[in-house]
Structure 1
Amino acid sequence: PLLCGMAKAKYYLLTCDTLTGEEAERNGLVSLCVDDGQEQARALEVAVQLAGMAQAAIRWTKHTLNHWYRQAGPIFDASLAYEFYGFGGPDAAEGLASHREKRAPSFDGPTSE
């Protein structure tokens, strides 16, 4: 939710839909998307651009933005713990078994309260 907003986060986490690079960029999950084979060249362009800028300003901007992210740490830790809790239930085992056996899953685990 921190990067793409609650609505998009819920959609992709609940549906498990695959994202293309273009969709990831549009949703704010990556900085930019480039054509296959152009990654190194574009990364070098960005690096050269940043190297030519005021390094103190870049350093303090990075520090400020990273500090903002660190404030969300406890929320991230709690949400990750809940996700792991869900991975251990009977529905997780059924999901893996149905995928392995190439059949539709039959989820009988407890529902959310």
Structure 2
Amino acid sequence: MQTDYSSNLAIVWRGAEWPHLEPYRNRLEFYLYLLKWVQTNKKGRNVQEFKYYSLEFDEDEAIISLLPFGNRARLASIWEVNKLYNVFELSYIVQKLTQLTTRLGKDIENHYDKIPR
């Protein structure tokens, strides 16, 4: 089943119309990018690079990126306090990002379940 994330992102962008969406907009946006990456990696043998650009920040550089090489990957952020060469075992960082996706999904669902309909 193919999921169209562009419609979800459009809903997020228009979230300013609904004040209850505002605090979670960035988390939802990041979650959708991460979820798409996890789903893409489940289809293939090679781990794809991950780059997250926000609708809120008009930057050429990705806010968060994962650059795989061999059996390792470098995790980088534009908000790094110290320029470190953050390299992890590929299987470890994929597992952690997959777990983060699951936790974010549950947190977002719990948040929106509390909103009166």
Structure 1 or 2: more helix by fraction: 1
Larger-Rg structure: 1
* TM bucket normalised to smaller: under 0.3
Kindly indicate whether structure 1 or structure 2 has the higher relative contact order, using CA contacts under 8 Å at least 6 residues apart. 2
Instruction: Give the TM-score of the pair, scaled to structure 2.
Output: 0.27
- Tell me which protein shows more strand as a share of its residues: 2
